[in-house]
Structure 1
Amino acid sequence: MKLRTIAAAVAALATFQAHALDITTTNSANTVKIYAAGASAVSNVLAGIFVQNCASGLDIYGSDKTKPNFSTDGNNGDSHRVYSCTLKAEGQLDADLQGKGLGNANVALWKRDAGGSATGVFHVAVPLVSTNLVVSATSCTSTGATAGYAPGASRPTYSYLCGDTESVRSPDVGFSDVEPEFFKGINVPDDLVGTYGAGLNDTQLKSLTRQPTFQTVFAVAVSKALYDRLKADGKTVDGTTTGVPTISRVVAGSLMRGEMSDPSNGLGWHALGITVGADTQVNICRRAPGSGTQAAANLLASGFPCTSASIPDPVRNDASDTPDNNLSGPYTGGNLFVYEGGSTGNVRSCLTNANTAGAYAIGHISVENAEEAGWKFVALDGVVPSRDNLKNGKYDYAMESSVQYRKSLITQLSAGTAIDKAKAGFIQGFAKAVGRPANLAKIATANQNGVAALSGQGTFGGTGADGTFVSRVARTAGNNCTPLAVVK
C-alpha cells in the first residue's frame, strides 16, 4: 500500500514538470511549497543542500534592501530568501529525499532569516504567524542574473529581488543554532517576552520533532581596522605582525556585556593591549534577542541560560537605554554604540560600515560566513576558529544546531493530497539531509569551514567527506549547556 501511494504521488507530480521555475510556476498550486524560518547563521548551508538537489529551473529570490520593508538591511537577501527549482530524478536525489514523491517535482523553499532562530522555534511550536517574502510580478524584479552559488561565494546570486512581505501562515519547519530550550529570558524576542519569557512549556516542546543537524562554528569578528591594529602590535597567535590576531575570551565577554564602555578612562579597547586608538568609541555589532547567534554569544559572555546567576540586560548605548538598528552608526565621536541586527547579514554590514568610518568594532558571526574586506575573524585565547580546530577538540565556541517541525503537521500532510505528502516527505528528509557529511562536502567552499558533522554521522578521521567533516567531539544529547567532550 505504501509503495502504491508513493508511486501515485510521483505520477501526480511528474505531470507538472517545468524547465524554469519563474514567478508563475513558483506560485503554482502544483509546486510543493515549504515555508521555513529561523537561524540566519546557517542559511548558506541550508541553501547549498537544497540547490544540490536541483536539476533545472533554479530561481533564487531575495529581499530587496532598497524597499521600505527591508530598509534596515545592509545587503539584498538579509531578511528573506526563496529557492525554487525542478528537483532531480528520483534516483539522483539525496538518499534522504528519495521515496517521498519528490523526483522531478517542482519545489519552492521559503526561508525567513529575519528574527533569527527564535522564529524557527516559537513560530513553529505554538504556532505563530510568520512573515514571508511575497513572490509576485508586482513585488519582484528580475536582476537578469543566473541564480546560483559560485564555488567560493558566501552569498547566492539572486535572479529576482522582491519588496513585499505577507503574514498569513506559520512556518512548516524551523532551523535553530541552539536547541529550543535555550530561548528564554534575554534570548526571547522583545515582542514575545510578555507571553513566552520563560520559554516554551513542556507540552509545547513535546509537540515538536527535533532533529540534530550539525555543529556550527561561531567566532568573534572585528572590523578590519581593529584587525590590522592587533596585527601591527603583535597581538597574534604567534606573537608576530603577520599571524592571525587573538583576543582573550574574558575581554571579549566584558566588551559584549558593555562593562568597558568608557575607553577614555582606560577601559574599552585598552583591555586588548593596543597602542593606537585605544581611547576610541567601542562599537558592538550584535544580534537582537531571539537570534541563535546571540544566544551563543550570551553563553560565551555570560553563561546564560546554563547558569542560574542573574544576568543583566545586554549592553546599551551612550544616549539611550536601548540598542540601535541604524547601520549608519554613529561609529565615532562617543563612548559606546550598540547595533542590533535582525540577521547575520546585518551584523556583517555593521562591521563593514564601522570599518569604512575607520572605527574599531567587534561582533559575533558564524564561520560559515566568509570573511569580507571590511571585517575578519580573530582567534580566541590563541586558537583560530575553524571546523578542523573544532572537530579535533581544540576550539569550543560552537553549538549543536537543530531543525524542528510539528508532529501534528506531518500527520495532517501525510493524510492529504500528493502535494501534501511530498511536502511532508521533503520536511522530514531535508531535516536529515542537511547534516550528512557527503552533503556538506557539496556546499560552497566559502561555507564549509563553519560546519562539522555530528559524530554519529560518520567516522572521525575516515575517508572522503567523513574525514573532512565528522567531529570527534560532541555535547551530551545535543545539550549545549554541556561541555564538548571527545567521543569514543
Structure 2
Amino acid sequence: MKNLMLGAAVSVALFGSVAQAAITLDGAGKVVVTPADTYEIYLGGASAALDYIEHLATSNSVIAADRMCDSTQPIYKFKDNGGGKDQNAYYCTLNPLNPQLVGLAAGKANLLIYKRSVGGSAYGVTPIIDDAKGAASASIAFLNVDPSVCTVPVLSSGLLTSTCTYSPTTAGQFQMAKPDFGVSDVDPEQFRGFNTPAGFSPVNPTDLSLLNVESAGGQVFGIGATKKLRNALQEAQFGVGNACVGSETEACMPSLTRDQIASIMTGKLDSWKDLKIGASDLYTAASAANKPGNANARVHICTRTDGSGTKAQMGVNFLNYPCASAATAPAADTGALIETIAKTQVHALGSSGGVSECLRELDAGNNTIGTSFNNTYTAGGARWAIGIQGLEKNANQAEDWRFVKIDGVAPTLANVAKGKYHDWAELTFQYSKTHAWDLSEDLIVKEFIKAAGNPNVIVSLNQTNVHPFGDSGYLASPKNFAPDVNGNFASSYPVNPYSHATTSLPVNNCRIPTAYDLSNAAAGVQLQ
C-alpha cells in the first residue's frame, strides 16, 4: 500500500505530470474517457442524496483537504436526457490538496464517479448484497458516457455538462456494472416488505453480516404540497385574504399533523373535502384562485416506487412500517384513475426529480416539464397533491410546490437537533466485504464516505439548503463527531445530538432516536 501522507514536495512531484494525463476531448469537443488514467467508481442508491453527492464530488466550497476533485481543472458532469436526475456521472482530475488522494496520482490522475439514482435507495443495498453473494443480479444499468451518445459539454452551474441519451434497454445507451458502494436514505434492514423493489429479494438480518455499513449522518425530509394546496392550507389556518396567504415565512407555513399525513399516505382520505374546517371543508373553503380543477377534490400523492429510501423513511416515521408487524403499508401506485372513483390517486416515481415533476405538473395542470411523470389530468386543470422530498430540494423555491410544517414544527436543522422535528433519517453507505477492487479504489471510496459525514464538509453542502423558514438539509452523526456539550445547535458545525444508533448498536431507523452519548459531565440536550 502506498504511503498517502506525503509532504508538499512529494505531492508536487507526483502531480507535476498530471497535465500529460488531462481529460481529453475528441475532434467534436466531446469528452473521451481514458480508462488507463482514470479511476472509475460506481455508486448506486438514494436519489434524494443526488445533490449531496454532486456537491461533495465537485464543489470547490468543500474544504480543500476533503475535496475529491481538483477545482483548478475542468470538471465534467454527465446527465441522462430524461431530466438529468436518474443517471449521472462526474469526471475530474484528482484533487492534489487532499492528502488521502495524493499518492494515487502516480497510478492514475483522473476520477470518474457514476451515480445511479433511478430506483432509489434499494439500488444502493440489494446489488451490494448480491455482489457479496456472487449473484449475477449485482450488475445494474449505469449511464454510458461514450461520445456516440453524449453531447458536447456546455458550462452549467460551474460544471461542464453533457447530456447523454439513456435507455436501460437500448444497446450503447447504458452499461452494466457492479456498484462499488451504495448509499441509502435509511439503513439496509428497512428494505423488506413493500420496500423491496421489483426483481430483488427482501433484505434479511443475515445479509447484513456481508456488508460494511457506515453512518453518513442525518437527512431532513418533509412533506411538499403543490403551491395552490399550500395556499389553500394557509387560507384555512390564517383566513382567506390574510397576509400569510402566499407568504414564505416560517410563521406563515401551514401545518399538517402526523396522523393526518398518515391517513393521506395510506389512502384513508381520498378527497380533500375529508379535511374539515368546522362544518365546511378545505376544498369548499378555498378561494377560487387556489381551488383545484376537479370538483371531486380527489387527493393526489406524488410518492416513490418500492425500493426508495425516501418512501421507506416516510413509512418508518409516519406509519411505523416496516418496523411493526401490525403497521399499515403506504397506499400503492394507482396509475391513472377516473376521478369520480372514490380512491386516492397515487403516483409512484422512480426518483426525487420525478416527484418534483409530478407536483409541478399537477399544480400547473400541464404535462410539459419532463418525462418522469405523465400528467393525464391536464384537461381538468390543476390538482392538489402532496409529495415526499428531502429538504435539499427547492430551497430557491423555483418549483411550484412548498414544504409544510408537521405538528406545527418547521423542517429545520435546529428543530431536528432540538428533538422537535421527527421526519428525518440516518443515511448509510455500504459496500460488500468481499468486493473486488484495487487498493486505490478502496481508498477513494473510504475517503468519499469519510468526507460525506464530516460536519466541516456538510456545512458547505447545506449552503444550498437555506429555505425562507430556516436552514435545513444534513447533519453529522454523533457516532462520528461530538455535538456541542450543552446540546446547542450551530449551523456552522451541524452535528445532531440524537441518533438511531446507540453506543453499542448500529444505526436502525426503526429505533426511536435518542441522545447518543452524554458521558461528558457538561453534555446534554436543549429543552427549548
Same fold (TM over 0.5): yes
CA–CA separation in structure 2 for the residues paired with 1:220 and 1:457? 29
Distance 2:189 2:473 in 1: 23
* 1:288 equivalent among 305, 311, 326: 305
Tell me by how many angstroms 1:15 deviates: 4.8
Structure having greater relative contact order (Cα 8 Å, sep ≥ 6): 1
Correspondent of 1:422 among 416, 420, 440 = 440
Q: Is the 8 A contact 1:62 1:158 kept in 2?
A: no
Given residue 121 of structure 2, which amino acid in structure 1 is its aligned partner?
A: S
SS of the aligned residue for 1:174 comes to: strand
Q: CA deviation at 1:200?
A: 3.7
Match of 2:303, as an amino acid?
R
1:163 is matched with which residue? 165
The answer on whether the counterparts of 2:477 and 2:499 sit within 8 Å (CA) in structure 1 is yes
* Structure 2 CA distance for aligned equivalents of residues 61 and 6 of structure 1: 32
Superposed CA RMSD: 3.2
Of 184, 192, 215, 1:212 maps to 215
Q: State whether structure 2 residue 472 is matched by structure 1 residue 454.
A: no
- Aligned partner of 2:44 in structure 1 is 37
- Distance in 2 of aligned mates of 1:179 and 1:9: 38
Closer, same or farther: CA 119–61 of 1 in aligned 2, 3 Å: same
Deviation, 1:10, is 10
| Distance of aligned partners of 1:281 and 1:208 in 2 relative to their CA distance in 1, 3 Å threshold | same
Work out which of the two has the higher radius of gyration on C-alpha atoms and give 1 or 2.
2
**Count of aligned residue pairs for this structure pair:** 440
More helix by share: 1
Counterpart in the other structure of 2:461 = 443
State yes or no: 1:185 paired with 2:196. no
Answer whether contact 1:332 1:359 (CA < 8 A) is retained: no
Question: Which of 259, 263, 273 lines up with 1:254 in the alignment?
Answer: 263
Please state how far the C-alpha of 1:248 moved relative to its aligned partner: 1.0
In structure 2, what is the equivalent of residue 377 of structure 1?
A: 403
Give 1:168 shift: 2.2
Q: Is the 8 A contact 1:285 1:339 kept in 2?
A: yes
Do 2:456 and 2:493's aligned partners in 1 also have CA atoms closer than 8 Å?
no
Which residue of the other structure, out of 354, 361, 373, is the alignment partner of 2:385? 361
Between the two proteins, what is the percent identity of the paired residues?
26
Match of 1:472 in 2: 497
- Residue 355 of structure 2 corresponds to residue 347 of structure 1: yes
3-state SS in 2 of match to 1:181: helix
Distance 1:231 1:331 in 2: 29
Offset of residue 188 of structure 1: 0.2
SS in 2 for 1:61: strand
Are 1:323 and 2:334 counterparts? yes
2:82 aligned with 1:80: no
Aligned-pair distance for 1:145?
2.2
CA contact (8 A) 1:177 1:400 kept: yes
Shift, 1:332, TM fit: 6.5
C-alpha displacement of 1:42 = 1.1
Contact 1:214 1:402 in 2 (8 A): yes
Q: 1:273 to 1:483 in 2, by over 3 A?
A: farther
Structure 1 residue 20, shift from structure 2 partner? 4.2
> 1-side partners of 2:338 and 2:427: how far apart?
33
- Matched AA of 1:168: M
Q: CA deviation at 1:408?
A: 1.5
- Deviates further, 136-145 or 204-213: 136-145
> Shift of residue 302 of structure 1?
2.0
Give 1:303's aligned residue.
Answer: 320
SS at match of 2:237: coil
Per-residue Cα deviation, 1:59-92 (whole angstroms, up to 9, x for no partner): 0011002xxxxxxxxxx21111101111221xx2
2:469 is matched with: none
Pairwise CA distance, 1:161:
0.4
SS in 2 for 1:77: coil
Q: Distance in 2 between matches of 1:405 and 1:9?
A: 29
Unaligned 5+ residue runs, structure 2?
Answer: 60-66, 132-137, 167-172, 366-381, 467-471, 519-528
User: How far is the alpha carbon of 1:144 from its aligned partner?
Assistant: 2.4
In the alignment, what sits opposite 2:414? Answer: 388
One-letter amino acid matched to 1:187? N
Residue 246 of structure 1 contacts residue 378 of structure 1 at CA under 8 Å; is this kept in 2? Answer: yes
Mapped partners of 1:21, 1:453: distance in 2: 37
- Structure 2-normalised TM-score? 0.76
Match of 1:129 in 2: 139
Mapped to 2, the partners of 1:427 and 1:190 lie a distance apart of: 28
1:459 is displaced (CA, Å) by: 3.9
Partner of 1:225: helix, strand, or coil? helix
CA distance in 2: counterparts of 1:59 and 1:394, whole angstroms: 40
Partner of 2:374: none
